[in-house]
Amino acid sequence: MFKAIECPSCFRQLAAPQIDIWDLEAACKDCALNFSFQEQLPIEIRQKHEVIKLPKGIELLSTEEEFEIDVKWRDVCWKSIDGKRNYGILIAWFLTAVFSFVWGWLISGGLDTTPNGGIRIVLLCIWLTLFVYLPIANLLNSTKIVIKEGQLSLNHGPYPTFNMGKDIPVHQIEQIYIVKDYNFDLKVQTSVYGSRYLLTGLSTAQTAVFIEQEIEKYLQIEDVQMKGEWQG
């Protein structure tokens, strides 16, 4: 049976206002000690309530009026499975971009103003968009998840890509959960549209779990197991 939280310094039992159940931290007013009480929890509770600290590439603002998470793609999406930055992808895309530009310029005949030359220039622009602009935009962009005035809004920027924003009324959100293929994706279960992808391509479980926990905490959603949910 789980006992009350005790201060490790003065061994006094702490009252509820002195305990932060989300961060698993407490403050003893008698000896002015701040401490983590995670080790005092039974193992089954610790495993269920493992709190993930703020990962790199994530900025969080949470007030009574507004909640905002800023996810920087270069820190949370451009990494390999072990969490290290995947420079191999960056180098491969850079070399592809250089090759594409040289190849496209050669086949377009430079600044050829004939009709055929115009078509080649259009094809070159499309090629450069796919292999130069979009990789750079993905490197520099971020995603903002904002909860305000009863609405969850998700927007990508500042550079436009094929990733579209989302707006979901808060009262329709039933659960936030994680699924995994190669990367980690966040899905939202709604009462109207069922399950929808919220954020995709996260390279580490730590980032996905943190975003899930913070949104559910702010919306006061009890975490329940969903079909197909990733289990860490």
Whether residue 170 is found in the same domain as residue 69 = yes
pTM of the model: 0.65
154 and 45 in a common domain: no
Say if residue 35 is in the same domain as residue 101: no
Task: Check: CB of residue 228 under 8 Å from CB of residue 211.
Answer: no
In a domain, 228, yes or no: no
Domain check: are 70 and 15 in the same one?
Answer: no
Count: domains in the chain: 3
**Residue 128 within a domain:** yes
C-alpha radius of gyration, the chain, whole number = 24
Residues 27 and 127 in one domain: no
Range of the domain at 147: 58-76+142-219
Per-residue pLDDT tens over the stretch 155-205? 988 888 877 788 999 999 999 999 988 888 999 999 988 999 998 888 888
* Structural domain contains residue 11: yes
CATH code (residue 165): 2.30.29
What's phi and psi for 199, nearest 5 deg?
Answer: -150, 130
Same domain for 148 and 129? no
Q: State whether 135 and 148 are in the same domain.
A: no
152 lies in the same domain as 65: yes
135, 149: one domain: no
- Give burial (CB, 10 Å; 0-12/13-18/19+) of 155: middle
Same structural domain, 163 and 183: yes
Q: Same domain for 147 and 190?
A: yes
- Per residue in 77-129, pLDDT (tens digit) is 754 433 344 455 556 666 666 666 666 666 555 555 555 556 667 777 777 77
Let me know: does 202 contact 78? Beta carbons within 8 Å.
no
Whether 72 and 184 map to the same domain: the answer is yes
Nearest in space to 86 (alpha carbons), one of 124, 135, 19, 132 = 135
Question: What pLDDT is stored for residue 178 in this prediction?
Answer: 93
**Residues 6 or more apart whose Cβ sits within 8 Å of residue 23:** 51
- Residue 231 inside a domain? The answer is no
Distance CA 133, CA 97 (A): 9
